[in-house]
């Protein structure tokens, strides 16, 4: 769940494996919780060593793109609620309003940390999420990229404890708020408020404007809260 520390020495050993693994997952367009082939099969398909593959898998897991269960394998998407920890009690004792209040308290602060610490790779990931969210053909696709976007920001904060806290909050959010998924035959309009708001967040992070980054995230979450209350 926590982001691995990437040592400068040896980083290139798995860079190619990471690129190929990302492409493999993207090209297959796997649904969430789809099991990946075994490590042996992946090594043969991608032409990489077992060590390189495992480092690449660790990076994707830290980004929330895959999750691993000992004895069962590696799966696409974020770890299910029952595998993150005992959040069932939390989800039964909270509501969307409390979730949004928690997000408003926590995520702007995380965004400010990202403005301080995000690497160029982190920012590229954020920008990829912006592009893919705009290209989404369904609300489900959009929400998956939106979720990945917000996690890329906490990843950019470069604080393992914040990653863990965010994952717990996000697990509760998925259970409490995502229950009202929109029909798959719809998608956000090009004028959807989140697109411009996400752009502003990334621009502030990229220019290292700490206060503007936090303010942009707060503005965005307040828009989300208003839409949630209105049932949009």
Question: Tokens representing 99?
Answer: 């979730």
Rg (CA), the chain: 18
Is the pLDDT reported for residue 38 higher than 80? yes
- DSSP, res 36: P
Residue 58 pLDDT greater than 70, yes or no: yes
> In Å, how far from its chain's centre is CA 29?
17
Tokens of 42: 């992946």
pLDDT of residue 128: 93
Query: Residue 11: what are its φ and ψ, rounded to 5°?
Result: -60, -35
pLDDT at 171: 84
Length, in residues, of the chain: 232
Q: Is-contact 168 84, C-beta < 8 A? A: yes
Mapped onto helix, strand or coil, the DSSP state of residue 42 is helix
- Is the predicted pLDDT of residue 5 greater than 50, yes or no? no
The chain-wide mean pLDDT, for the chain, equals: 83
- CA pair distance 230, 2, nearest whole angstrom: 35
pLDDT in tens, 141-189: 898 899 999 999 999 999 988 988 898 888 888 878 754 545 555 788 9
Q: Is the pTM of this model over 0.75?
A: no
Per-residue pLDDT at 131 exceeds 50: yes
Question: How many helices and strands (H and E) does the chain possess?
Answer: 11, 2
Which residues pair with residue 35 across a beta bridge?
A: 75
């Amino acid at each position: 769940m926590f982001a691995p520390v990437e040592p400068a020495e040896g980083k290139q050993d798995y860079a190619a494996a990471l690129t190929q693994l990302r492409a493999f997952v993207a090209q297959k367009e796997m649904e969430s919780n789809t099991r990946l082939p075994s490590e042996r099969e992946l090594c043969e398909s991608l032409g990489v060593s077992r060590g390189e593959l495992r480092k690449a898998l660790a990076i994707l897991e830290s980004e929330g793109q895959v999750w691993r269960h000992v004895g069962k394998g590696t799966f696409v998407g974020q770890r299910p609620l029952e595998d993150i920890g005992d959040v069932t009690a939390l989800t039964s004792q909270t509501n969307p309003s409390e979730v949004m209040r928690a997000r408003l308290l926590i995520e702007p602060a995380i965004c400010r940390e990202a403005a301080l610490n995000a690497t160029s790779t982190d920012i590229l990931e954020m920008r990829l999420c912006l592009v893919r969210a705009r290209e989404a053909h369904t609300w489900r696709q959009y929400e998956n990229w939106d979720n990945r976007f917000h996690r890329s920001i906490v990843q950019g904060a470069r604080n393992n404890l914040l990653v863990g806290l965010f994952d717990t909050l996000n697990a509760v959010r998925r259970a409490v708020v995502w229950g009202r998924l929109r029909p798959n035959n719809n998608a956000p309009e090009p004028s959807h408020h989140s697109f411009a708001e996400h752009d502003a967040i990334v621009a502030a992070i990229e220019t290292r404007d700490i206060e503007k980054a936090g303010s942009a995230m707060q503005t965005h979450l307040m828009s989300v809260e208003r839409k949630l209350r209105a049932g949009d």
